[in-house]
Amino acid sequence: MGNEGAAEQTWATFQVVGKPIGEPRHRSFMRNGRMTAARNPMADPWKKAVRAAAIQARCKLFAGPVRVSLHFWVQRPKAHYVAGDRARPLKDSAPDWFTSKPDVDNMAKAVIDALGPWPKGAPPVAWKDDDIVVELHANKRYTPREAEPNPATGCDINIAEALSR
């Protein structure tokens, strides 16, 4: 009751396993008196993994505004474990949040770019242009304590249509 005629929300959710890598900044330089931009391919293997996971999950191609939620999981350093041994328990002082490089905005950019027509000329996976992403939530954390000693690093991705009120 009260939901008659309400639009049904379309969504996609999937997980990418691997080491999350942020999208590196493009570098510009002068060559023969002309400004040239160079693309850094460092994030390409991660972006390929994102595309493969989306295709395997049968992610739909969204046409209207979407909300995106990205939860990145990063492997803990040995210093987080008792006696520096990953087979031992985590120290009580081990943090939950990953506060080192790469920056979360660059990590999000790599995922969002990978779900479009990337590399140039490839068919889009989730959207033809990332300008339809109207809301973005992203965080980066160390793998959860309960996942030890075999944590999966990567990213949990949720995409939902942004419905009008």
Q: Kindly report, residue by residue over 9-28, the tens digit of the pLDDT.
A: 779 999 999 999 999 877 77
Please tell me the distance from the alpha carbon of residue 27 to that of residue 32, in angstroms, as a whole number. 16
Domain boundaries, the chain: 11-23+41-161
pLDDT tens, position by position, 86-128: 778 888 999 999 999 999 999 999 999 999 999 999 999 999 9
For 11-23+41-161, CATH gives 3.30.1330.70
- Indicate the pTM of the whole model: 0.85
Give 13-67 pLDDT, tens digit per residue. 999 999 999 998 777 777 788 877 767 788 999 999 999 999 999 999 999 999 9
SS3 state of residue 31: strand
Report whether 152 contacts 17 (CB < 8 A).
yes
Would you call the peptide bond into 65 cis, given omega within 30 degrees of 0 as the criterion? no
Describe the crossing of helices 104-114 and 44-56 by its angle, rounded to 10 degrees: 50
Longest dimension (CA), the chain: 69
Strands 34-38 and 66-74: unpaired
